[in-house]
Amino acid sequence: MKKIILATSLACFAVLFAGCSMAQKTQEGATVGEKTFHVTGQEVGMKMNSVAILDKSLQKWTVYENTADGTIHHGTVGKIAVESSGAKRNETGTVKTWAVLRNRTDFPMQVEARAQFFDEMQVPVEAPSSWQRIVLPPNAIGAFKENSLGIRDIKYYYIEVREAR
């Protein structure tokens, strides 16, 4: 009986440790752009209909926790997170785009955002909008909204977010 319990325990530990070694490291929130050397790939360029966080300081933030047993753990998370984004046609034919941003820190933060609109060939149809300041209370959300100026051939949007200056 002891041999069966010992063999079962060893098998469980083997499965448990094998699963740990296969775990992949994932990054939460937006990522920093990477330099690409192959210009023929689909990964080159802007991702249309998306929100880009431009400042690296907003993308990484070190968190320290002192747990009950006195050990200190740390990791990195983004200071802000993009909760949702999208676009729709207004009744006038212009396009309204929006992004909902979450402040993940314990202090108030100010960021700026702007939008640019593109045609079906992903060519800008108008200049980027002016930077709009968004005040984000601690651990709360804020919204950015922008309307296009024209009604012609708008198929895509691209929103940029940076720390307020």
For the segment 66-85, what is each residue's pLDDT rounded down to a tens digit?
566 666 556 667 889 999 99
Whole-model pTM over 0.75: no
Q: Residue 138 in contact with residue 120, Cβ under 8 Å?
A: no
Is 130 a member of any domain?
yes
Cβ-in-10-Å burial (0-12, 13-18, 19+) of 141 comes to: middle
pLDDT digits (tens, 9 = 90+) for 53-64: 998 888 875 655
Is 151 a member of any domain?
yes
Is 31 a member of any domain?
no
Is 27 a member of any domain?
no
Residues 6+ apart with CB under 8 A from 96: 87, 88, 89, 90, 145, 146, 147, 148
Is 30 a member of any domain?
no
CATH of the domain at 149: 2.60.40.3230
Is 85 a member of any domain?
yes
Q: Residue 75 in contact with residue 85, Cβ under 8 Å?
A: no
Kind and range of the H or E run holding 8: helix 2-21
Tokens 């990477």 belong to 34
Count of domains forming the chain: 1
Q: Which domain range does residue 57 map to? A: 43-163
